[in-house]
Amino acid sequence: MSTIVQKFGGTSVGSTERMKLIANRIVEEKKKGHDIVVVVSAMGKTTDTLVQLAREISSNPSKREMDMLLSTGEQVSISLLTMALQEQGVEAISFTGRQAGIQTDSILGNAQIQSVDTSRIRNELDKGRIVVVAGFQGETSDGDISTLGRGGSDTTATVLAAKLKADRCDIYTDVNGVYTSDPRFVHKASKIASLSYEDMLSLATMGAGVLHPRAIKYAKEHQIKLFIKSSFEKGMGTLVSVEKQSHSEIYVIGVAFKENIARISISEFEDGDSLQAKLMLELASRHIQADIYKQYFNNVLTVLIKEKDLQDVLSILHKEKNNLTYRNLEYENGLAKVSVVGRNITSHPGIKEKVCKVLLKNKVKVKLVGESSISVTAVVEKSEVYIAAERLHAGFGLDFIVTEQVHV
Amino acid sequence: MSTIVQKFGGTSVGSTERMKLIANRIVEEKKKGHDIVVVVSAMGKTTDTLVQLAREISSNPSKREMDMLLSTGEQVSISLLTMALQEQGVEAISFTGRQAGIQTDSILGNAQIQSVDTSRIRNELDKGRIVVVAGFQGETSDGDISTLGRGGSDTTATVLAAKLKADRCDIYTDVNGVYTSDPRFVHKASKIASLSYEDMLSLATMGAGVLHPRAIKYAKEHQIKLFIKSSFEKGMGTLVSVEKQSHSEIYVIGVAFKENIARISISEFEDGDSLQAKLMLELASRHIQADIYKQYFNNVLTVLIKEKDLQDVLSILHKEKNNLTYRNLEYENGLAKVSVVGRNITSHPGIKEKVCKVLLKNKVKVKLVGESSISVTAVVEKSEVYIAAERLHAGFGLDFIVTEQVHV
């Protein structure tokens, strides 16, 4: 009998009505004769509500207590979804991360799974039960509840799929697959029927929010077939798996973007390399994500961060001014990053120029252009990001892609 | 160093603002040099909200999944209260029931504590930390989360006090002690400074909601001094402890009442004793509380239950009509029970008569009067329960009781 892991995100279990719909889908799959393990996130805005409660009490709550608090969100989901399954007449049982045998390291708030003892899950599957596991959480060797950080439920699902030697891992979400760009804003974006782990990772890294990079990396390592599907619509979704030969020629996969970006430009410094290195360390130690670009021609270091981190980064820069040896900085927010994502981008020197040309032709103001092996990224005004994405999508021939069908 | 267990109910931790107030009180006690273990309930209406979610999914959810669901309420409380304590600069740590070493039997939804391994709590106390424990919950030997049923947090607190050999157990609630009647409705009710476990148990059994009977029984067995205090006001509260000689003469302690009562009267049956026994078994197996009175003079069996159980009991009676061998029944709701509570009531035959006389004189319609060793109970219209309680309180000389002061 084959095992399938199904993961449902917060929107999919956002209300008791939705839980009942989800329960139908799970039972359908169960009736095909599979062993089913379901991984769920917290309901809708539960996590935000809990974070808000903590903020009312402390501006800097301890990580252990935050994990104690946030892990309740998934615990509510698993119990309710299991009730919905039982209501359909199937046998089901819920497990917290700990009960599912998930042991993590002790980096509370951002823990990594270290081992999984699947014996309790396997035991319940053998009894014919659907096992519903709380995503995003585990237990440390000290017996503390830990959470896995952003995208944690995706990680729980892929790790369980690997440990249970599952046939596949279905990631149910509020979109019906992976697209060449975000179809809510880029209307000619088309669904990608199948893509490689590497390409999925590139899209996710540059802003496609459908799947967390950490989960993709894990799936790749263990060659877990991932299907991205809609919780609410029927349809094939997108298969993420080992690369097929036929895909190797395409070098642009899609256009991704991230909004609410702020820029800080630092100038008049003594040693740019040392400044960059020190700043990267400072930010990493505070878990602040940043892209740092050095423009040699005018001796400016540009830091791109999320708007919400702007005040923190400015105060770090202010405090460390002497240590970082710079004299001037200026900043702005209300920006966005739009990226043409592909493979071996730096070995196709035409791409960067084409990005600039397309945006220039469409009168999109470009603040900065950077490139990496997987993307060319332009920083633009937030108000122009959708038009920029749409034009780049057309400009790189993505409007006309016909996707192949994959059958499960 | 002495250990004190403090228990805070749902109203006391009903908001983050209240949590901060509670944290102040706990820190005050800690600064006196005690080891402090805090037991908390779920915030305000959290449990009701969770029950409502479950009802939206299933009319009869599995007990295991209900316990999984409901136990999150206390988990939210312990993490937030611990953050509030840490925010005051003291060291604190939260424990779920399982982490606190509380093992229960497998009667999910109404579990009893079987053993407590206090080593983890003791270890944290020895480090100088305040330990905040989730009330109402534990873990079965199968590793499932269990809840203790009504009054569960009181039980957690008294059990921990016994196992930790605590000096005392402070039960913080929204009233500032135990009263001769409910002071919200009986304005001349006065606070009782000190009373015995037995008398507290009698009051609680007859309707004084301040402390759960199961917790009182446990405290009595292990001679845990209980202090009932207000979470929000300063003051002495009420001491519940081993009986003092001086109390033995008082035979009326107070007037308690329970509202929302329904009455079912069964008549024309063959064997009253057998009917009563069978019915008691049927109701007990469904966890429905009932008082059953047999009136010999007219061959009627009267069953008093909570209004919310009326439909269930009627359908049991209907289904089992042949087995229970009765022909007629009639019922009404909108009733209340009011009880004069004391000791050796049946050996003071004047009490029952006096209850009737007082109510008659005040034109309160009495539906039924029953007595036990701890009370004389009159069933009255719900609309007349407060006036009945007030008049009985006066009639039994309780309006003029001056309570003694106890010093901790």
**How near does any CA of chain A get to the CA of B174, in Å?**
22
Instruction: Give the predicted TM-score (pTM) of the model.
Output: 0.87
Q: Which fold, A3-245?
A: Carbamate kinase (3.40.1160)
Are the Cβ atoms of A50 and B76 closer than 8 angstroms?
yes
Are the Cβ atoms of A57 and B20 closer than 8 angstroms?
yes
* Strand, coil or helix: B155: helix
pLDDT score of B177: 92
**How near does any CA of chain A get to the CA of B144, in Å?**
8
Give the span between the Cα atoms of B249 and B341, in whole angstroms: 14
Residues contacting residue B47 through CB under 8 Å, at least 6 positions apart = B10, B70, B73
Are the Cβ atoms of B75 and A83 closer than 8 angstroms?
no
Give the span between the Cα atoms of A343 and A341, in whole angstroms: 7
Phi, psi values for residue B104, rounded to 5°: -120, 175
Alpha helices for B325-397 (secondary structure H): 350-361, 385-395
B97: which chain A residues are within 8 Å (Cβ-Cβ)? none
Residue from the list A19, A57, A96 with its beta carbon closest to the beta carbon of B19: A57
pLDDT score of A175: 86
Q: Which residue has the higher pLDDT, B58 or A249?
A: B58
pLDDT score of B225: 96
**A21–chain B Cβ distance below 8 A for any pair:** no
Give the span between the Cα atoms of B5 and A203, in whole angstroms: 54
Q: At what angle do helices B213-221 and B197-206 cross, to 10 degrees?
A: 170
What are the DSSP calls for A370-408, one per residue? Answer: EEETTEEEEEEEGGGHHHHHHHHHHHTTGGG--PPP---
**Percent of all residues in chain B with a pLDDT value above 90, rounded to a whole number:** 69
Are the Cβ atoms of A72 and B76 closer than 8 angstroms?
yes
- Chain A residue whose CA is closest to B23: A57
- B377 has pLDDT over 90: yes
| pLDDT tens, position by position, B117-131 | 999 999 999 999 999
pLDDT score of B402: 58
- Residue A384 and residue A354 in contact, taking contact as beta carbons nearer than 8 Å: no
- B406 has pLDDT over 50: no
- Residue A241 and residue A253 in contact, taking contact as beta carbons nearer than 8 Å: no
- Using alpha carbons, select from B275, B267, B287, B273 the residue that is nearest to residue B323: B275
CATH number belonging to domain A254-399: 3.30.2130.10
Our separate counts of H helices and E strands in chain A read 12, 20
- Dmax over Cα atoms in chain A, in whole Å? 71
**Segment B60-66 mean pLDDT:** 95
Q: Which residue has the higher pLDDT, A149 or A219?
A: A219
Give the span between the Cα atoms of B137 and B152, in whole angstroms: 7
Quickly state the pLDDT bin for A249 (edges 50, 70, 90): low
A65: which chain B residues are within 8 Å (Cβ-Cβ)? 79-80, 82-83, 86, 94
Give the span between the Cα atoms of A96 and A94, in whole angstroms: 7
- A404 has pLDDT over 90: no
Residues contacting residue A324 through CB under 8 Å, at least 6 positions apart = A266, A269, A275, A278, A279, A317
Structure token digits, residue A350: 């035409």
**How near does any CA of chain B get to the CA of A7, in Å?**
19
**B88–chain A Cβ distance below 8 A for any pair:** no
Q: Which residue has the higher pLDDT, A395 or B175?
A: A395
Residue from the list A65, A79, A93 with its beta carbon closest to the beta carbon of B83: A65
Structure token digits, residue A312: 């923190």
Indicate the average pLDDT of chain A.
91
- Chain A residue whose CA is closest to B65: A79
Give the span between the Cα atoms of A311 and B40, in whole angstroms: 37
Least confident segment among A70-74, B191-195, B324-328, B382-386: B324-328
- Parse chain A into domains and list their residue ranges: 3-245, 254-399
Are the Cβ atoms of B68 and A58 closer than 8 angstroms?
no
ipTM for the whole complex: 0.86
In A23-69, at which residue ranges do the beta strands (DSSP E only) sit? Answer: 35-40
Structure token digits, residue B86: 């840490």
**A51–chain B Cβ distance below 8 A for any pair:** no
Least confident segment among A236-240, B31-35, B232-236, B238-242: B232-236
Residues contacting residue B147 through CB under 8 Å, at least 6 positions apart = B66, B67, B70, B71, B108, B109, B110, B111, B136, B137
**B80–chain A Cβ distance below 8 A for any pair:** yes
Are the Cβ atoms of A94 and B20 closer than 8 angstroms?
no
Phi, psi values for residue A204, rounded to 5°: -65, -40
Q: Which fold, B3-244?
A: Carbamate kinase (3.40.1160)
Between the CA of residue B155 and those of A240, B46, B151, what are the distances in Å?
52, 19, 7
Are the Cβ atoms of A79 and B87 closer than 8 angstroms?
no
Quickly state the pLDDT bin for B401 (edges 50, 70, 90): low
Residue of A43, A66, A68 best to disrupt the B interface, most CBs of B under 10 A = A68
**B72–chain A Cβ distance below 8 A for any pair:** yes
pLDDT score of A16: 96
pLDDT score of A210: 84
| pLDDT tens, position by position, B69-106 | 999 999 999 999 999 999 999 999 999 999 999 999 99
**B56–chain A Cβ distance below 8 A for any pair:** yes
Alpha helices for B60-151 (secondary structure H): 63-87, 119-126
Quickly state the pLDDT bin for B245 (edges 50, 70, 90): low
pLDDT score of A408: 39
- Chain B residue whose CA is closest to A80: B54
Give exposure, B235-259, as e/b (b: 16+ Cβ within 10 Å): ebbbbbbeeeeeeeeeebbbbbbbb
Give chain A's radius of gyration (CA, Å).
Answer: 23
**Percent of all residues in chain A with a pLDDT value above 90, rounded to a whole number:** 70
Q: At B175, which amino acid appears?
A: V
Structure token digits, residue A191: 């669904």
- B6 has pLDDT over 90: yes
Q: Which residues pair with B264 in a beta bridge?
A: B303, B331
Quickly state the pLDDT bin for B246 (edges 50, 70, 90): low
**Segment A138-150 mean pLDDT:** 93
Are the Cβ atoms of A72 and B72 closer than 8 angstroms?
yes
Place of tokens 């279990």: A13
